[in-house]
Amino acid sequence: MKQSSTRAVLVEVAIHFVLLVAVCAALYPILWVVSLALAPSGAPDARALPIPDSISFHSFASVLFRQNSSGTWVFAVQLFNSVVISLATSFVAVAIATPASYALARFRFVGSKAGTSLLLFTQMFPGVAASVPLYLLLDSLHLLDTRSGLILVYATSAVPFAIFQLRSAFEAIPREIEEAAMVDGATQFGAFLRVALPAARPALAVTGLFAFMTAWNEFILAATFLSREEMFTVPLLLNSYVSEYSAAWGNFAAGAILVSIPVCVLFYALQRQLAGGLTSGSVKG
Amino acid sequence: MAGLTLRNVKKVLGKTPILHGIDLDVRDGELVVLVGPSGCGKSTLLRTIAGLEVPDEGEIRIADRDVTHLPPRERDVSMVFQSYALYPHLTVRDNLAFGLKLRGASAQTIEERIGEVSSMLELTPLLERFPRQLSGGQRQRVAMGRAVARHPALFLFDEPLSNLDAALRAEVRVEIKRLHDRLHATTIYVTHDQVEAMTLADRLVVLRAGRVEQIGAPLEVYEKPRTLFVAGFLGSPAMNFIPASIDSGIARAKDFAVHVPASIGGPTVTVGVRSEDVVVAESDGQLRFVVDVVERLGFDCHAYGKVGDVSFVARLNGEVARTAMRGTVIALNVRDGKAHFFDVQSGDAVQ
Amino acid sequence: MKRWFALAAALASLCLLPSPQASADETSVTLWHAYGEAEARGLHEAITAFEAAHPGVNVTEVAVPFGAYASKLESAIPTGNGPDVFIVAHDGIRTYVDGELVASIGPIPTAVSDDVERGYLDAFRVDNVLYGLPIALKCTALYVNEALLATPPASLEEFRALAPVLAPGVSPLAFETDSAYYAAAVLHAFGGELLDATGHYTFTGPSAERTVAVLRDLVQQDVVPQDASGALVTQLFASGRAAAAISGPWLATDLPAGLRYRVVPLPTVGGHRMRSFVSVEGALLARGARDAATSRDLIAFLASPSGALPRALIGRQTVTSNAVQADARVANDSLLSAFRAAASHSVLMPTHRKMRAAFEPANRALRKALEGEMPIRVALAEGAHRFEMITRETMPAQNPTVFLVVVGLLFLVLTIVSIRKIADAGMRARIRRSWPAYRYVLHAALAIALLVILPLLVGAATSFFAGHGRDMHFVGVANYVDILTAQGGPIFAHGSFWLVLLVTVLWTVLNLLLHVSIGVALALALHRPMLKMRGAYRVLLILPWAVPSYVTALAWKGMFHRQLGSVNAILSHLGVEPVSWFAHFSTAFAANLATNTWLGFPFMMVVTLGALASIPNDLYEAASVDGATSWQRFRFITLPLLGPALAPAVAMGAVWTFNMFNVVFLVSGGEPDGTTEILVSEAYRWAFTRSQQYGYAAAYAVLIFLLLVGGNRLLSRNTEPVGGTR
Ligand SMILES: Nc1ncnc2c1ncn2[C@@H]1O[C@H](COP(=O)(O)OP(=O)(O)OP(=O)(O)O)[C@@H](O)[C@H]1O
Ligand SMILES: [Mg+2]
């Protein structure tokens, strides 16, 4: 008895040790970015511990209160754009993906197999090849340089993965509850809307988060499709600190941290659903 | 009126035929209990009636209306699922109200019905909880309540009491009987519980591998099983079957001999004897029963053992019930007219 | 439900929110540039002056992200979405002319022709047509720390003598020795050049060898720190650990206010003056400019003294206007006058189309020679060979008839087959039964077809073409043939498709192994219900996933920096010699791997956590009752149940890792010598850094796609079909 309890304590200590090491490794590069943002020089420096000698919020201030040449508070404008675009992206992507994934989970129909394979295939084609055709397409739709255009592109590019996610989420929901609703007087669509959808809420939240991240962090397409500063998103702002000849690493780091905060908060808020949402169904289905 | 008629209903799931042409007439207000071994297609039949599965062939009429191709919501049925199928995101109250709301019932009606079913099924303290906060039995009661609250033309119950404890089960069983007497709603009721089947049913339907084996009043089915299968399926302990050969009006097997009605010919027959249909013989009996294990239940006992080489169960009472033990040899007689005879090949009862 | 609709409506109205537009009665000119903050301010000041002088004219400045500048110009101008005026360096002028992106600005305004040197003006002239006017110069000069060096050394040889004199830890000089841009200054001193006028790569031969030898000696004698990056040069000079630095005007913006320094023209080497490249930045008139006259006025104004002065004073640009040099404030600014003087000794960057492609092989040759990896002559010869490979002649055009016939036949067969299918009664019945489902998938199908699949198809179709812009032409499957035959060289030659494929497979397999093993291990540790601080651990371990990957990839690149990186700092605390991480394949690959492992393990961990949570506890209890040890429980319950749950995630992860462009591009950038490149990053290079061979890049993309589809088929044959079909 005695022996097994000391063994249990040893195991516990070992596990904490492993986890602590992992946490340090996970945090180290992030702390490094933080220290860069807080260092008064704003320049990288060779040191093992990411602790700056002195702290200055100069970089944060210069990112936060950055104005463009005509006196517009660019950070606010671009943050606004990013928030609107990312929220709308996650909304549109989930709205498009949900019914489709529901159909894939619930109905057997001609083309469902081919469709799913096609969806998977879109994930395999490197995006490099698509940016020029996309540009021409958006141009012909007069959606260049608009938030809606960018939202459309982001949302559709997020849809395939969202469909995979949601399909397994719907598969994990017992069919009977929708059948009960139909017996209770709902149409098939009503059962989807009133029963399946609310039951899939955690997965919807996680899928929305991923779509949000797609838009929030995207740089290349935004840079290609937007050419008016008042439409720019925050990643473009970050990128502007790294120009052809010089890089303001301190500002870049400060901007990076500011950009990361919302996503970190969302991750924190959704961490329980994250574990469930990603696998619900992949276990059963 | 709101009867139910099934005509040659066939259903194939995937590539397996599950229902092979079911014919059934249920009168208005009748309570029909559906029994059959696991996997025989009871749930499938119920789902087909509800409209969740479209039959591949055949016709379904509810209240003389052809509903074969109508969606579930237009059939005015309610169903208790084997897996409860409660809405996980709604409280018990909202679960109960869901169907009523969809059908546009007034707030007052909804309140009344909720009050009615929750007092009947003892759900009142649970009304504000979510399904995940309920025990299995509580969930089943909610599922019952949800079906009852709607007052539909046809109830479909798929093993609605299987998870309740014995006391509650008996209580709800009586409730259902009372409810049925009051509402007089046509009901199809699936159960594995013999007591439920015998006590609730106006008529009993025995299903086997997607075919109706026998339909009739419970006692009639019990006493006059039309097939070996029905005979063996109903009753607990199950009926004893002894393969015997007929020799000048007597069916014989090792340690076994009973008279056979003159109508039965053939060299062999399967003799069925229910465990309660034997009595201890004064001297030489028709059966020589060697006891192996005895379960004493108080008033009587189940004695397990052998007649010849065949396993046999006898329900005994009186002095033997107390004294019988392993190795005891008891001479038994079959009660008059209680022996059942079945054709060896087809399994059909022969008279 | 209502709440959601309200939110959706609010969002919709927000995205349609109009942004302020110029009022109709104003003439509006749009100008694009890729300047950093200070230069943009100077430019803005100049433009404000222009607007003051031209009432009713409104100029919109757009600071376009540098990384996307070239490709943006190329796609925006032909479609009419581009600027009216744009500012670029002169060396790309031929590309702009070929791509029909620029328009003639007519004769040089006299105010400019008298004020700006002929050579700079001619930088924007092609075939006697002038497309823009020069406004500023970018070249390098010598920065000298006045506290460390009283008089600036006049020659590189003098620096050599400084090495023993200066305090330990202080380098006499810092510059990017392994960058061909800086090395060219020495090469020019010896009479060599990188590329001759006819577009031949000339970083070979005696002058090139002499150049590399000089640089190698400088490094070996510790005159110049080894493989110094731009950041390191800045860092060393700013902190006084380098007495002098060779850099451009951009260095000045990164220097602390207290540092006392002077800027002088470059020193001599072997008795010849070092001559750096000079790029002339000019304002060009875009083809299709809405108001060409006003745009021309703006260009002329920016080039004129009144447009140049604010740019010089505020943006501290080395402006081309001579008149401005007379202004006292400009003349007294040592930075401005020094760069101006330096520019006059410089060599104009060649405008040949192949110029940009020359840097990659030249850099690699330099690095290899300086690392001592191979003799100078061999390294240079290899560079020349590499240049030939990446600038290979564009494929000859082919007659598309045969191809079209084949495609047409295929299409016909497909149509017949599908008509046959639909004609089949059973099929029709099934399609009819599918209608309700189609209503659910219709909009998703449309959206994906239009915005995902169509662009991908068009992209794939470009793989049958070569060249770009106007001389894009059909070449059939020549691109594929070229790639698959390793351009006729040995199959596993350096940089060949097959070798890169091998690296990519290795990359994918190792990454997945690490992701899964680390993810599963941590998840198992976190899954213990009694664990203290479980929530905190979980949140902290997910963080790498939440931070944008391009940020953390850059952070990791910094951490692997030889001199400034913390990895080497940690190693030195442990008594290990600093490692040049990006100098060897193994270490560079390891650096990429470390970064991507760090980025990818949280996903696997979270997936595993979810899977673990769904294994019923009864199973473990039953097994314990049956007497299973904890290892047996893991082996016989956890593992078998985890497998199927992880399979889709692993399949998805494999696809993502195979195409993980960010990490490879940002961390090692293919170093050393393109060996750590994977297929996607290779495709990207063909598209954007090797004279824009989009067709070739598209062929790479199609091959990647086919490989992944094939791999998926292969792997899912035995096991449950992964990810896609059920
Ligand atoms: N989707 C399906 N595809 C093929 N066969 C199915 C499908 N669903 C059920 N079955 C089979 O149909 C048969 C009847 O199933 P059903 O659920 O109706 O049985 P049941 O009588 O209700 O059994 P239980 O008493 O166990 O509830 C079973 O043998 C089952 O394996
Ligand atoms: Mg069933």
Chains that touch B (3 or more CB pairs under 8 A): A
Q: What is the pLDDT of residue C327?
A: 87
Q: Find chain B residues with C-beta within 8 A of A182's C-beta.
A: 51-52, 71-73
Q: Find chain B residues with C-beta within 8 A of A198's C-beta.
A: 87, 89
Q: Under DSSP, is residue C107 helix (H, G, I), strand (E, B) or coil? A: coil
Dihedral (C-alpha) B226, B232, B238, B239: value to the nearest 10 degrees? 50
Q: What is the pLDDT of residue C64?
A: 86
Q: Find chain B residues with C-beta within 8 A of A181's C-beta.
A: 87, 98, 102
Q: Cα–Cα distance between A218 and A230 in angstroms, integer?
A: 17
Span of A51-65, B86-100, C413-427, C513-527 with lowest mean pLDDT: A51-65
Output the CA B75–ligand 1 centroid distance in Å: 23
Instruction: Kindly state the average pLDDT of the residues A123-148.
Output: 84
Output the CA B41–ligand 2 centroid distance in Å: 7
Omega within 30 of 0 (cis) for the link into C400: no
Span of A41-50, B91-100, C262-271, C644-653 with lowest mean pLDDT: A41-50
Q: Cα–Cα distance between B7 and B136 in angstroms, integer?
A: 36
Q: What is the pLDDT of residue C412?
A: 92
Q: What is the pLDDT of residue C49?
A: 92
Taking Cα atoms as reference points, which of C173, C99, C170, C116 lies closest to residue C140?
C173
CATH superfamily of B4-226: P-loop containing nucleotide triphosphate hydrolases (3.40.50.300)
pLDDT digits (tens, 9 = 90+) for B262-303: 888 778 899 999 999 999 888 788 889 999 999 988 788 899
**Do the Cβ atoms of B161 and B169 come closer than 8 Å?**
yes
B81 to A199: CB separation less than 8 angstroms, yes or no: no
Q: Cα–Cα distance between A196 and B206 in angstroms, integer?
A: 35
How close does chain B come to A169, measured CA to CA in Å? Answer: 14
Query: Confidence band (pLDDT; 50, 70, 90) for B1?
Result: very low
Tell me: pLDDT of A188 over 70.
Answer: yes
Tell me: pLDDT of B8 over 80.
Answer: yes
Question: In the structure encoding, which two tokens stand for residue C573, read together?
Answer: 């605390």
pLDDT digits (tens, 9 = 90+) for A193-244: 999 999 888 889 889 998 998 899 888 888 888 888 888 888 888 887 876 6
Q: Find chain A residues with C-beta within 8 A of B50's C-beta.
A: 179, 183
Q: Which residue among B15, B16, B193, B212 is best mutated to probe the pocket of ligand 1, counting the most ligand atoms within 8 A of its Cβ?
A: B16
ipTM score of complex: 0.87
Number of Cβ atoms within 10 Å of the Cβ of C463: 23
Q: What is the pLDDT of residue A277?
A: 55
Which residue type sits at B171? Answer: E
Output the CA B16–ligand 2 centroid distance in Å: 16
Q: Cα–Cα distance between A195 and A180 in angstroms, integer?
A: 10
Distances, alpha carbon C74 to alpha carbons A40, C281, C617, in Å: 39, 18, 60
CATH superfamily of C494-690: MetI-like (1.10.3720.10)
Query: Confidence band (pLDDT; 50, 70, 90) for B183?
Result: confident
Residue with CA at minimum distance from ligand 1 atom 17 = B43
Taking Cα atoms as reference points, which of B284, B283, B259 lies closest to residue B273?
B259
Residues with CB in 5 Å of ion ligand 2: B 43, 82
Top-level class of domain C141-275+354-390: alpha beta
CA B348 to chain centre: 20
Residue with CA at minimum distance from ligand 1 atom 20 = B39
Task: Give me the residue spans of the domains in chain C.
Answer: 23-137+280-348, 141-275+354-390, 494-690
Q: Under DSSP, is residue C73 helix (H, G, I), strand (E, B) or coil? A: helix
State residue B270 phi and psi, 5-degree precision: -100, 125
Cross-chain CB nearest to A182 (options B73, B83, B88):
B73
Chains that touch A (3 or more CB pairs under 8 A): B, C
Q: What is the pLDDT of residue C468?
A: 67
Domain(s) of CATH 1.10.3720.10: residues in chain A:
65-278
Taking Cα atoms as reference points, which of C260, C266, C264 lies closest to residue C238?
C260
Taking Cα atoms as reference points, which of C534, C509, C507 lies closest to residue C522?
C534
B51 to A174: CB separation less than 8 angstroms, yes or no: no
How close does chain A come to C209, measured CA to CA in Å? Answer: 28
Instruction: Kindly state the average pLDDT of the residues A27-41.
Output: 85
Q: Find chain A residues with C-beta within 8 A of B79's C-beta.
A: 179-180, 183
**Packing angle of the helix pair B92-102, B107-120 (nearest 10 deg):** 130
Distances, alpha carbon C464 to alpha carbons C409, C449, C452, C710, in Å: 18, 22, 20, 21
Query: Confidence band (pLDDT; 50, 70, 90) for A270?
Result: confident
C23-137+280-348 and C494-690 have identical folds: no
Specify the higher pLDDT residue, B138 or C244: C244
Cross-chain CB nearest to A187 (options B73, B83, B146):
B73
User: Residues of chain C whose pLDDT is less than 70?
Assistant: 1-2, 15-26, 393-394, 468-470, 689-692, 717-726
Number of Cβ atoms within 10 Å of the Cβ of A148: 17
Distances, alpha carbon C338 to alpha carbons A63, B268, C189, C198, C253, in Å: 32, 122, 19, 32, 16
- Which atom of ligand 1 approaches the CA of B47 most closely? 18
Across chain A, mean pLDDT equals: 84
Span of A151-155, A274-278, B82-86, C92-96 with lowest mean pLDDT: A274-278
Asked if the C-beta of A284 comes within 8 angstroms of chain B's C-beta atoms, the answer is no
Output the CA B160–ligand 2 centroid distance in Å: 11
With DSSP H G I counted as helix, E B as strand and the rest as coil, what are the percentages for chain C, rounded to 5?
60, 10, 30
Entry pTM: 0.85
- Which atom of ligand 1 approaches the CA of B45 most closely? 18
Q: Cα–Cα distance between C110 and A88 in angstroms, integer?
A: 53
The domain C23-137+280-348 having CATH identifier 3.90.550.10: the answer here is: no
**Do the Cβ atoms of B95 and B146 come closer than 8 Å?**
yes
Residue with CA at minimum distance from ligand 1 atom 1 = B13
A187 to B47: CB separation less than 8 angstroms, yes or no: no
Tell me: pLDDT of A281 over 50.
Answer: no
CATH number of A65-278: 1.10.3720.10
State residue A221 phi and psi, 5-degree precision: -65, -40
Task: Give me the residue spans of the domains in chain B.
Answer: 4-226, 237-342
